[in-house]
Amino acid sequence: MDWFKKHYEKIILGVVLAVAALAVAAVPILISNTRSQLEEQRNRITRRPIQPLPQLDLASMESVLHRLETPLHLDFGRPHNLFNPVQWQRTAGGNLIKLARGTETGPEAAVVTAIRPLHLILTFDSVGPVTDGTPSGYLIGIEREAASPPTGRRKRQVFARLNEKREDLFTLREVQGPPENPTALVLELSDSTERVVLSKDQPYRRVEGYLADLRYEPEKRTFTGRRVGDRITLAGEDYNIVAITENEVVVSHRLTGKKSTIRMRTEG
């Protein structure tokens, strides 16, 4: 007991040192265990299976984009009267016309009532003087109904010989039958190189233009037999006829040059 009393401090110090040594020896083990636990936690977080994202609903956005791609068009033209107050126009006869749509007067209010074709007509009229069984040529009639000067519309005759161009219009290429009394002549047209056959009872006809009749209802006026180049007056404005087809007439404002199309009137 005396020994214990003399050495208890050493014994306590030895126990403390032994515990401290055990603690120091246990530190690497604790560190390794902690690292293993942290690695396991990290793997559970980083290596867990990834679920795909749900399909995005873009219907509302696509609807907005579609509306943006389709611009809004606001039409304040006639017959909308916000910026176009209704006007009234007095005709040459003193009548008032309400301009609700803007097409009640001018070319838009005119109609074509009739269109007739104008032809180029070639006829085999006669055989020229015959000498020793050979005629000097053949008399061919030319009629151009669409000619611009009225004098050019009258029928005239020209003398034609084989392979001779006449009037920059045709060339006589062949005489069918006896030369002094042929059954037909074959002409080659200069503008198309088309070959046509003329006999004394069968002329050649080709459409070269048209003649039009128009009606302008606001002023109860009728324009009859108008050709390309003629002038008409609608609502106090002058218009030149610049083209006529089978079913419409194109006019041009004399001052501005603006073109308008007047179409054939449809029944009903």
Residue with tokens 């233009």: 209
d(CA 247, CA 213): 11
One-letter identity of residue 76:
F
pLDDT (average), residues 44-70: 81
Helix, strand and coil content of the chain, in percent to the nearest 5, comes to 25, 40, 35
The string of pLDDT tens digits covering residues 139-175 is 999 999 999 888 889 999 999 999 999 988 999 999 9
pLDDT value of position 150:
87
Give the pairing of strands 231-234 and 221-226: unpaired
Quick one: average pLDDT of 186-214?
94
Residue of 128, 131, 209 lying closest to 172 (CA atoms): 128
Q: Is the pLDDT confidence value at 268 over 60?
A: no
Q: What is the distance between the alpha carbons of residues 96 and 60, in angstroms, rounded to a whole number?
A: 55
| pLDDT band for position 81 (cuts 50, 70, 90) | low
